[in-house]
Structure 1
Amino acid sequence: MALNFSKVEFLRSAARCGDFLRDGRPQFAFAGRSNVGKSSVINRLAGRKNLAYVGASPGKTTQINYFLVDGRAYLVDLPGYGYAKVSKAEKERWGKLMESYFQDKGGLITTGVLIVDIRHKPTENDLIMHYWFRESGCPEIIVANKLDKLKKSQVEPALSLIRDTLELAEGDALVPFSAEKGTGKEELIGLLNAACEE
């Protein structure tokens, strides 16, 4: 039975690996750099404006945040990387937290959702995150956000650049998405539901 994404609630934040949820429910881990609109994508999926915190300054997600979907699965909002104006020590803490989550013996991640900016070539940090998802052995969905900022003629070349940079294979999931307009929402929900059933 398909997950009802309009039934999403914030459950808890994890600041250390002892706080990770390990109850066997599927976990969809959302990652992306600090200003890519990760919280906006999560809010769009849930049909809510302020479920995930949208910061005026990038890097507001400092812990791993769990949202329960339909009582049956988790959207896991990972700390944004890249632009956050925080201390080196804080960045290192985030890095260690993320590493613990990815390397947890329970294999916590069901599906990785990497959010990139469709207008730009994926960054070095995007590539590292992509590599982490691949190394963890989980399926990965690439969400190319900010589609509404491009002209129609720019979309296919932009998607090709993302495919080439991330070395995506023919069947790899790449979803053009607009958190602003909702484009790509149904496709992404379909992919998450399919991952849940596997």
Structure 2
Amino acid sequence: MTGTADLSAHPLRVAVIIGSTRDGRFGPRVASWFTEQAADSHPDLDLDVIDLAEADLPLTMSGFGRPRPAAVEDLAPRLAGADAFVVVTPEYNHSFPAALKNAVDWYSAEWRNKPVAFVSYGGLSGGLRAVQHLRQVFIELQAVPIRDSVSFHEYWGQFAEDGSWPRPAEARDRAVRSLLDQLTWMGATLRGGRTTLAASAVRA
């Protein structure tokens, strides 16, 4: 699949979410690698890296009908303005981090009718069990998970100290391009659908 939409006039806005907040985490390095790959192969994308460690979202949820905390409101426009999402996640105990679930649960409409892709890292599984759980959560929120994902198995041996790619990895490079092609096509298609729905609602 290739991205067929002309995005030159209206670039697709893609939020890249770093899902780990743990001290010494590897997530920012993976996110940096991914955004470099995306910028090289799909320069028409407008990338926005959202680090949950910097967002500092509270763990105590507001009651229904009550105002959301300031940190939640501050992040909301960046999520609402995104046309697509890429979630960078490790695997903790066969699932994804609690901080990532907390971030997902604070929002609802911001995810709706938008594609979500996953870049994971872990041990032998490469974080794929975390991705499987995330797919279920995002489907419940009416988001659209992308089939292809990118995973780093035993990630500690995959990167050099400076974050550079230490050896050829043609298969993973192809996987990144495929993921981005799917995300671009689906993002543009769903953006058009959301525009049509909004116009219909105004006419009604």
TM-score, normalised with respect to structure 2: 0.50
* Counterpart selection for 2:82 from 98, 109, 114: 109
Residue 145 (structure 1) shift = 1.0
* Counterpart selection for 2:20 from 33, 49, 58: 33
Q: How does 1:38-187 map to 2 (within 5 A)?
A: 38-44=28-34, 46-47=36-37, 70=43, 72-81=44-53, 91=56, 96=70, 99-103=73-77, 107-118=80-91, 120=93, 121-132=95-106, 134-136=108-110, 137-146=112-121, 149-150=123-124, 159-163=131-135, 166=137, 168=139, 172-173=145-146, 175-178=149-152, 180=158, 182=172, 184-187=175-178
Conserved 8 A contact 2:96-2:131 = no
Query: Aligned partners of 2:74 and 2:50: how far apart in 1?
Result: 12
Matched, 1:189 2:174: no
Question: Structure 1 residues 119 and 186 mapped into 2: Cα distance closer, same or farther (>3 Å)?
Answer: farther
Residue 125 (structure 1) shift = 1.7
Give unpaired runs (5+ residues) of structure 2. Answer: 58-68, 159-168, 190-204
Paired positions, count = 146
Question: Structure 1 residues 27 and 158 mapped into 2: Cα distance closer, same or farther (>3 Å)?
Answer: closer
Q: Considering fraction of residues, name the structure with more helix.
A: 2
Query: Aligned partners of 1:41 and 1:109: how far apart in 2?
Result: 17
Residue 39 (structure 1) shift = 4.1
Residue 159 (structure 1) shift = 4.9
Q: Indicate the RMSD between aligned Cα atoms, in angstroms.
A: 4.3
Give unpaired runs (5+ residues) of structure 1. Answer: 4-22, 52-66, 85-89
TM-score, normalised with respect to structure 1: 0.52
Question: Structure 1 residues 100 and 159 mapped into 2: Cα distance closer, same or farther (>3 Å)?
Answer: closer
Identity across the alignment (%): 8
Aligned match of 1:19: none
Q: Deviations over 1:6-58 (max 9, x none)?
A: xxxxxxxxxxxxxxxxx95321101122325244234245349xx9xxxxxxx
